[in-house]
Structure formats: structure tokens, C-alpha cells
Amino acid sequence: MSQSAFINPALLSWSRLRAGLSEIQVAKGLPVKTQRIRDWEAGRSLPTFSQAQRWASIAHVPFGFLFLKEPPAERLPLPDLRTVGGVPPSPPSLGLIDTIKDVLRKQDWYLEYFQEHDISPLPFVGRFSIQSSVLDVVSDLREVLRKGEDDKQRNQDNCMRDLIDAAESVGILVMRSGVVLGNTHRKLDVSEFRGFAISDRLAPVVFINSADAPSARLFTLVHELAHIWIGSTGISDGSSQSDRNEEVFCNAVAGEFLVPQDTIRTEWDMDGAWTSNLAPLAARFRVSKLVVARRARDLGFVSTEQYGAYYQQQLQAYRDKEGGGGSYYRTASTRNSLRFSKAVVAETQSGRLLLREAGKLLGIQPSKLKTYASRLLA
């Protein structure tokens, strides 16, 4: 007969809710009847050790936590900039916490890598502040990234890739994912956050939540880059209603970078339906219609309600047509940043980093690292 695990029932409930799981989901994962889950959480009976270990795995919590007297205090590892109207957001999800911790772990490794290679700090990190002129920050962004106002690709997808390449070429790690730690069963919630920035003179990082509509990610990318330029670290929800000074400023920088105020004011047609402006201006600035709508909202051409409804429409359209995960190796390079991936691969090929350690850093099976390296260098 299997030995019972004398866990704390309250920690079972805490770990399940923390992971956003229902009683039915945990029951299917074990597997046991749903009533058994209720009995365990109520303290009427106890799981076996193997069942408790399986529970910990399903809930993404260390097994030892289930024996604590009370849940451990958890805080976001980065400043939270998501308040709107002075109201703080809901407690962070486990997915957000795990994503940030994973990015910080990668950044820590990259900082050690930098120290060994004696690379100089990046001069543009923290060059400005929220008291600076928005136009000055936009001008410097364009100069450092070598992206003039008319220097854009043919469409928004090319523009996004081109801007990411430019950011990585000057030393910024750009990571993108819509799932937690590469696990397609753990989706990131775009309503919780759209991105975050870690401002560091040696290894600045920008993370974009790919669960968002592609048409909205370009704005988030420039918003997070603006955080790097003002030396501000934090999590953003991309809200146009945010009252946080850093968020308001970075929204303004992103808007001006993508759709210059003077031009849109001149070309916006106030007489027709507001949506009739989107397609021609999107073509004019080589951005998505959603970015134009966002800029129009910021300039008062459309209401917050109109923009919000249009954004939800675009997000739903993306979710409706969302297909498979694409290439395993391309997804891995997107999730890890191309610059970071090349550094890990180089250290592995030199023998200074073990295959299994490289695999853990990149979230890739060691047996696939050779193929991954060949794709990166192709």
C-alpha cells in the first residue's frame, strides 16, 4: 500500500489556483475522480507520495512547497507598471512569473559572458529620462537603430523583423513568445501584459508577448525600446489609459516613432468614417491599421471605446486564424533572441559550456543543438 503524503491541504488549493487550474483539470492529470481532489483540499483524506509529486508537477510548484505551513510570499521580479487610474492590477499569474524568471536567468548568463569578453557598456541605455523631449528620444532611436522616418520595409511583418534585427545588432536582446517556457499548453495572457523591458548597460532585454495580435506587437516593441532609452525596467500592459509616467512617455515615443504626429494631423480626414483613414495611412507609414488606430486614439481623433473595440476585433481575428507553431528551430530562435542564441552556441562549440547546460538555457533538447546551430549560422 502506498504511503500517504502528509501535505498541507491549504497548499494544495493554493498551488492549484496559483496555476489557474480547475479541480477537473487536476483530476484528469493525476488521474483521479474530481471528488478525490475536493477531499484532499478539504483535508478529509491524503494523497499518496506519488500523487502529491504528480500534483506538484501539474501545478508547476516545487514538491516541498506542499508541506509548508502557509503559502510563500511571491513578488514579481520586475517593477510592475501596469496600473491604470491608480488601480493596481490583479496578482501576477504563474505564467508571467515563470517567464520573467526565465528571461532573468538568461540575462544573468549573458552578463557573465560579457564580463569574460570585456565588452563595453551600451551608451544609449538610460541616455534620456521622462523629462526629455519625445522628439529627441525618437530622433536618437532612429539614429542608433539607423531607421529614418521613411526607412521601412514594404509591410508590417518586414518592418517588425527589420526593427528587431536593428535592435539586436546594437546589443539589445529581443525575446518573443506566447507560451511559458516553450510549453504550448501554458499560454501567456495578453490581457495581463504585452511586454516588459530590462534596462541594463551591458545586456538590455525586451520581451514581447506573442499572444497579442501581430498588428499590435510592433507598437509594443518600440514602447519597450523606449524603456531602454530612458533606463526604465518594468512590465507593461500597453494600455493607452495608463497613468504611470513611464508608460505615458513610452507610449508617446512609440506613437511618434511609428506615426509622426505632424503628418497624421495633416492627412487625417475628419469628414468620413474614422475607419476609412486607417488603410491609406497604414500604407503611408508602412504599419498596421491597428497602429494607426492607436495613434489616432492618442491624438484624440477617435475615442478610447472605439479603439478598444477595434483592437478586440483584430485580436479575435488573429486568434480565429492562428495555426500551428511553425518551425521548431525558428520558434526557438524567436523565443531566445538570435543574439543570445549565437552566444550560447559559440560557448558550446568552444567547449566552455556543456551541451546539457546550453540545452537548459535555450530550452532545446541537447540532441537538437547541432541542427539549431547550423540554422543560426545559415
Residue 88 has pLDDT above 80, yes or no: no
pLDDT at 185: 84
Residue 355 has pLDDT above 70, yes or no: yes
Pairing assessment for the beta strands 205-209 and 173-177 based on DSSP bridges: parallel
pLDDT band, very low/low/confident/very high, at 85 (cuts 50, 70, 90): low
pTM value is: 0.87
Residue 81 has pLDDT above 70, yes or no: yes
CA distance 198 to 173: 10
Q: Which residues pair with 195 in a beta bridge?
A: 208, 236
3-state secondary structure 103-115: HHHHHHHHHHHHH
Strands (E), 169-327: 173-177, 179-180, 183-187, 195-198, 205-209, 234-236
Q: Span 9-66: which CATH code? A: 1.10.260.40
Least confident piece of the model among 120-129, 198-207, 366-375: 366-375
Condensed to tens digits (0 to 9), the pLDDT of residues 114-166 reads 888 777 899 999 999 999 999 999 999 999 999 876 655 455 567 889 999 99
CA distance 244 to 81: 7
Residue bearing the bigger pLDDT, 209 or 242 = 209
pLDDT at 87: 64
What number is the average pLDDT over the span 334-344? 94
The DSSP symbol for 73 reads P
Residue bearing the bigger pLDDT, 323 or 21 = 21
Residue 106 has pLDDT above 80, yes or no: yes
Which residues have a Cβ under 8 Å from the Cβ of 141 and sit 6 or more positions away?
147, 222, 225, 226, 229, 253, 257
The DSSP symbol for 7 reads -
pLDDT band, very low/low/confident/very high, at 338 (cuts 50, 70, 90): very high
pLDDT at 120: 85
pLDDT at 103: 97
Domains of the chain, by residue range, sit at: 9-66, 94-321, 328-377
Exposure string (b/e) for 237-260, b if CB count within 10 Å is 16 or more? bbbbebebebbebbbbbbbbbbbb
What number is the average pLDDT over the span 275-296? 90
* Nearest C-alpha neighbor of 241 from the set 198, 301, 305: 305
pLDDT band, very low/low/confident/very high, at 301 (cuts 50, 70, 90): very high
Task: Map residue 208 onto helix, strand or coil.
Answer: strand
pLDDT at 324: 57
Condensed to tens digits (0 to 9), the pLDDT of residues 44-64 reads 999 999 999 999 999 989 999
The DSSP symbol for 69 reads S
pLDDT band, very low/low/confident/very high, at 83 (cuts 50, 70, 90): low
What number is the average pLDDT over the span 26-52? 93
* Nearest C-alpha neighbor of 214 from the set 278, 283, 291: 291
What number is the average pLDDT over the span 95-118? 91
The DSSP symbol for 269 reads -
